[in-house]
């Protein structure tokens, strides 16, 4: 039986109940063991009155009926005396049956005596049938004697079961009296045999031998019984045995033993009859007197046993009660004290310490002495455990305070490093922006774009530190930003941006306060999608307006996630856990969860139909608004949907109100899914695109010639070539922008040199993501 998981109260209860129950069972056993013999002694009188005397009357009447039956069988006619005797026998048998059926006799008998009484009653049931055989003379004298002797023997078997008293002396005396009664029965058998012999004048076959054997058995029983009697009773029997009747009967028995086994013995029949009846009556009176004396002597013994039993029982019961009371009080006290220690420990572990940590993380001041007061549990072992718990709780509180202080300091370090990194990245982006304006060589400009892209990613990682520190990133917008530009900004912050395809995106916008965080969130999911899918696969982004917000789906074609891992990831996304520095492998998941929780955005992962993972980002309705108006309007040769799709597939947005610069752009495609690939914008022939902008194809200027293989340095560009190249770029850009506004192409001469150099999205500047409008004033930019 494993008791390790039992409660303290259950263990203490078992510790108390088991010994107390054992003591109580021992007390009950001892009491019962002693009470049984005492009750047996007290029931001696009951057994004597309910079974002994009625049974002895039945035996006596059966013996008389047996003698008369033998006389009738020896003659030729029925004896009227036999009929009268049968009536007397039936009367005493009925009385015995009534007493045996009563509850008083059965209550005083044990199992053995019950069985012997039932055997006696069963033997008596055969009496009517036996009488029928006798009347029809179907039984001879020997059979008749055997019939009645069997009934009498059953009675003596019941009498012998009475001799089971707990006192040895009394028990031995009871057995001696039973043996005397049995010897008296043997005298009756001899008398019955002799009556038949005397009536016929001769011995039947085997009757003499049976007569001699019965006389020998009777004398043996008498000698054995007298030896077991007490000295006084033995002396009384000796006086009885020396009387004239006993002496005469013994002499007649000797004559019968010496008689010839052919003819009837020559004895005085009258002398035999007189001496035999006298001995029978005196033996019966002696037995009854001795039985009454035995019953009287057992009563004081039984009373003494009961008195001693009562005293021992009361003392034992008192000991049991005292043991129970002491055990219950001690056990209850121990259970209460241990429960107090348990309650204090659970309260500290489940309530006070977590609440303390929460308050510390909110920045509240905590008094260790008040939060972990000293609890008094006594001076014994339990008290020592309580004192140890007091020390542990105070240590835990101090450790929590120190941990929160350390975490707070670590967050401050993260935030300080992140702010410094952000400042450096912003300065780097501004420097790259100025360098891009001055560079004219397409290869160098492409390298600068790549450096610009790396700086954008560095900015995102710096913002990760800010988020880990519990602060908000510095980027912010005052005006709403279109969803398509939001996705483009996120794509521009991903390393493998060229593998991301922007599919159908329904028009909508995000309010300015959530733009930066949503861009960061999408960038983290896109980074995961590209990092955990094969390099040759595509990552698709879709957007759709829903009744409960705006849903963005990021679909990759990777190996996917197991059900357990996906369930764990969704749990973390739904309830952002505390940042654990040891779990750095899930840093992006933690950042996404923090950003989503900040604005109520719901992010959930689910398996894709063709393998991989679909990340669903549901932006709540309070962050979703209508798409802000752009530069494109409906014309007679194009619908609003066409122009919107064209707007989705290009990287350009509203021109920034500053001096013209050359920026990154993406080669336009007639389809709705276009990979975003930064490229250097160069002049080209204007086309008739739906958005009014010409298609730009990355190529070298016409004046750039291939370098000879042996040259180590490129030839310097002539000033005229550079001026011609920049003029063509400005003219084409301005013409395309004006055509998009008015809906009609404009002549090249209408474009002034002061127009913006490019209508395409520039690289991120001062914290703005690529492809998004740049904050133009300090109030429009949070940092």
Give the pLDDT of residue 526: 93
Phi, psi dihedrals of residue 542, rounded to the nearest 5°: -130, 150
When pLDDT is averaged across residues 446-460 and rounded to a whole number, the result is: 83
Q: How many CA atoms lie within 13 A of 732 on its CB side?
A: 21
Helix axes 244-258, 168-200, angle to 10 degrees: 60
How far apart are alpha carbons 449 and 427 in whole angstroms?
Answer: 16
Q: How much is the average pLDDT of 189-206?
A: 84
CA angle, 544 then 549 then 555, to 5°: 40
Distance, in Å, from the CA atom of 224 to the CA atom of 218, rounded to the nearest integer, reads: 10
Q: What is the DSSP string of 290-302?
A: HHHHHHHHHHHHH
Give the Cβ contact number of residue 256 at 10 Å.
Answer: 18
Highest averaged pLDDT of the listed ranges 118-122, 291-295, 459-463: 118-122
Confidence of residue 733 (pLDDT cuts 50, 70, 90): low
pLDDT tops 80 at residue 333: yes
Q: Enumerate residues 6+ apart whose C-beta is below 8 A from 58.
A: 89, 92, 93, 96, 124, 155
With a cut of 80, say whether residue 90 has pLDDT above it.
Answer: yes
Report phi then psi at 780, rounded to 5: -85, -10
CB atoms within 10 A of CB 494: 26
Instruction: Report the residue count for the chain.
Output: 783
State both tokens at 365: 């001041």
Long-range CB contacts (within 8 A, 24+) of 304-311: 305/34, 305/37, 305/38, 305/41, 306/35, 306/38, 306/42, 308/34, 309/31, 309/34, 309/35, 309/38
Tokens of 347: 């309260």
510 in Cβ contact with 625 (< 8 Å):
yes
The segment with the largest mean pLDDT, out of 149-163, 220-234, 244-258, 613-627, is 613-627
d(CA 177, CA 78): 37
Which phi-psi region, left, alpha or beta, contains residue 577 (left: φ > 0; alpha: ψ -120 to 50)? beta
Number of other CB atoms surrounding residue 701 within 10 Å:
17
Any bridge partners for residue 202, and if so which?
263
The C-alpha atoms of residue 570 and residue 222 are separated, in whole angstroms, by: 105
- DSSP secondary structure, 405-469, as one string: HHHHHHHHHHHHHHHHHHHHHHHHHHHHHHHHHH---HHHHHHHHHHHHHHHHHHHHHHHHHHHT
Query: Is 70 exceeded by the pLDDT of residue 531?
Result: yes
Instruction: Find the angle CA(624)-CA(626)-CA(627) to the nearest 5 degrees.
Output: 110
**Element at 588 (helix H, strand E):** helix 587-599
Helix (H) or strand (E) holding 552: strand 549-555
DSSP, collapsed to helix, strand or coil, labels residue 355 as helix
In degrees and rounded to multiples of 5, residue 325 shows phi and psi of -65, -45
Please provide the average confidence, as pLDDT, over all residues in the chain.
Answer: 75
Q: What is the pLDDT of residues 375-434, one digit of tens each?
A: 777 778 878 888 887 888 788 878 878 877 787 787 788 778 877 877 888 888 888 888
Band the pLDDT of 78: cuts 50, 70, 90.
confident
Residue 700 — pLDDT band, cuts 50, 70, 90?
Answer: very low
Q: Which two tokens stand for residue 287?
A: 């037995």
Which has more pLDDT, 679 or 226? 226
Select the highest-mean-pLDDT range: 128-142, 200-214, 689-703, 723-737.
128-142
Contact call for residues 27 and 320 (beta carbons, < 8 A): yes
Q: Which residue has the tokens 């990245």?
A: 425
What pLDDT score does 500 carry?
Answer: 92
Percent of the chain at pLDDT exceeding 70 = 75
**Predicted pLDDT of residue 716:** 56
User: Which helix (H) or strand (E) covers residue 96, if one does?
Assistant: helix 80-101
For the entire predicted model, the pTM comes to 0.41
Largest CA distance in the chain: 184
pLDDT score, position 84: 92
What is the structure's pLDDT at 385? 83
Dump strand ranges (E) for 575-658. Answer: 602-607, 613-619, 624-625
Q: Is pLDDT of 278 > 80?
A: yes
pLDDT band at 466; cut points 50, 70, 90? confident
**pLDDT tens-digit profile of 45-66?**
777 778 888 888 898 899 889 8
Q: Is residue 535 helix, strand or coil?
A: coil
* Sign, Cα dihedral of 324, 329, 330, 336: positive
Q: Which residue, among 321, 440, 355, 334, has the nearest Cα to 9 in the 3D structure?
A: 334
């Amino acid at each position: 039986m494993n008791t390790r998981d039992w409660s303290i109260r259950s263990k203490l209860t078992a510790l108390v109940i088991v010994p107390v129950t054992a003591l109580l069972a021992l007390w009950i056993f001892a009491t019962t063991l002693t009470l049984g013999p005492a009750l047996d002694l007290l029931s001696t009188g009951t057994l004597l009155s309910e079974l002994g005397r009625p049974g002895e009357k039945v035996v006596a009447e059966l013996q008389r009926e047996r003698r008369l039956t033998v006389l009738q069988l020896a003659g030729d006619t029925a004896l009227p005396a036999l009929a009268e005797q049968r009536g007397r026998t039936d009367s005493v048998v009925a009385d015995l049956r009534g007493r045996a059926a009563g509850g008083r006799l059965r209550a005083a008998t044990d199992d053995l005596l019950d069985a012997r009484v039932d055997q006696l009653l069963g033997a008596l049931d055969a009496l009517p049938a036996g009488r029928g055989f006798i009347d029809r003379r179907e039984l001879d004298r020997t059979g008749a004697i055997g019939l009645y002797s069997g009934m009498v023997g059953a009675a003596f078997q019941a009498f012998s079961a009475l001799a089971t008293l707990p006192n040895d002396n009394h028990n031995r005396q009871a057995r001696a009296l039973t043996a005397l009664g049995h010897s008296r029965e043997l005298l009756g058998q001899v008398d019955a045999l002799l009556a038949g012999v005397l009536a016929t004048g001769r011995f039947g076959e085997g009757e003499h031998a049976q007569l001699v054997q019965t006389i020998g058995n009777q004398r043996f029983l008498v000698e054995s019984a007298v030896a077991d009697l007490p000295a006084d009773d033995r002396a009384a029997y000796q006086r009885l045995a020396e009387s004239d009747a006993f002496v005469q009967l013994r002499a007649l028995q000797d004559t019968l033993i010496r008689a010839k086994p052919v003819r009837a013995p020559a004895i005085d029949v009258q002398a035999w009859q007189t001496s035999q009846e006298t001995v029978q009556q005196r033996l019966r009176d002696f037995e009854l007197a001795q039985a009454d004396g035995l019953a009287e002597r057992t009563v004081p013994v039984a009373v003494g046993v009961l008195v001693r039993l009562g005293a021992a029982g009361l003392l034992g019961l008192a000991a049991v009660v005292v043991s129970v009371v002491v055990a219950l009080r001690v056990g209850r006290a121990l259970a209460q004290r241990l429960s107090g220690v348990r309650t204090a420990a659970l309260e500290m572990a489940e309530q006070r310490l977590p609440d303390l940590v929460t308050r510390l993380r909110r920045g509240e001041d905590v008094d260790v002495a008040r939060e972990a007061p000293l609890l008094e549990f006594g001076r014994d072992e339990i008290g020592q455990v309580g004192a140890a718990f007091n020390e542990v709780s105070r240590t835990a509180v101090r450790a929590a305070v120190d941990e929160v202080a350390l975490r707070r300091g670590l967050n401050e370090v993260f935030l300080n490093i992140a702010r410094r990194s952000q400042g450096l990245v912003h300065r780097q982006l501004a420097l790259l922006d100025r360098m891009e304006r001055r560079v004219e060589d397409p290869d160098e400009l492409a390298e600068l774009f790549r450096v610009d892209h790396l700086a954008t990613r560095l900015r995102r990682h710096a913002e990760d530190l800010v988020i880990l520190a519990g602060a908000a990133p510095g980027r912010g917008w005052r005006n709403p930003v279109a969803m398509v530009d939001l996705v483009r900004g996120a794509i521009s912050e991903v390393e493998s941006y060229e593998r991301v395809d922007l599919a159908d995106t329904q028009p909508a916008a995000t309010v300015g306060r959530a733009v930066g965080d949503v861009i960061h969130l999408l960038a983290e999911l896109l980074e995961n999608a590209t990092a955990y899918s094969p390099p040759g696969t595509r990552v698709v982004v879709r957007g759709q307006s829903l009744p409960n917000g705006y849903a963005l789906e990021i679909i990759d074609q990777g190996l996917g996630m197991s059900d357990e891992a996906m369930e764990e990831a969704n749990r973390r996304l739904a309830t952002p856990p505390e940042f654990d520095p040891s779990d750095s492998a899930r840093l992006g998941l933690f950042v996404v969860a923090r950003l989503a929780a900040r604005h109520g955005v719901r992010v959930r992962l689910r398996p894709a139909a063709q393998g991989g993972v679909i990340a669903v980002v549901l932006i709540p309705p309070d962050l979703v608004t209508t798409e802000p108006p752009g530069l494109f309007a409906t014309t007679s040769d194009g619908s609003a949907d066409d122009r919107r799709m064209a707007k989705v597939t290009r990287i350009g947005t509203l021109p920034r109100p500053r001096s013209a610069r050359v920026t990154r752009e993406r080669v336009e495609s007639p389809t709705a899914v276009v990979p975003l690939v930064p490229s250097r914008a160069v002049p080209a022939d204007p086309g008739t695109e739906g958005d009014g902008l010409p298609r730009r194809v990355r190529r070298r200027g016409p004046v750039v010639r291939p370098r000879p293989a042996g040259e180590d340095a490129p030839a310097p560009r002539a000033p005229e070539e550079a001026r011609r190249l920049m003029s063509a770029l400005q003219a084409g850009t301005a013409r395309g922008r004006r055509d998009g506004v008015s809906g009609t192409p404009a002549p090249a001469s209408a474009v002034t040199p002061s127009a913006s150099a490019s209508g395409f999205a520039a690289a991120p500047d001062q914290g703005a993501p690529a492809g998004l409008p740049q904050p133009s004033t300090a109030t429009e930019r949070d940092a």
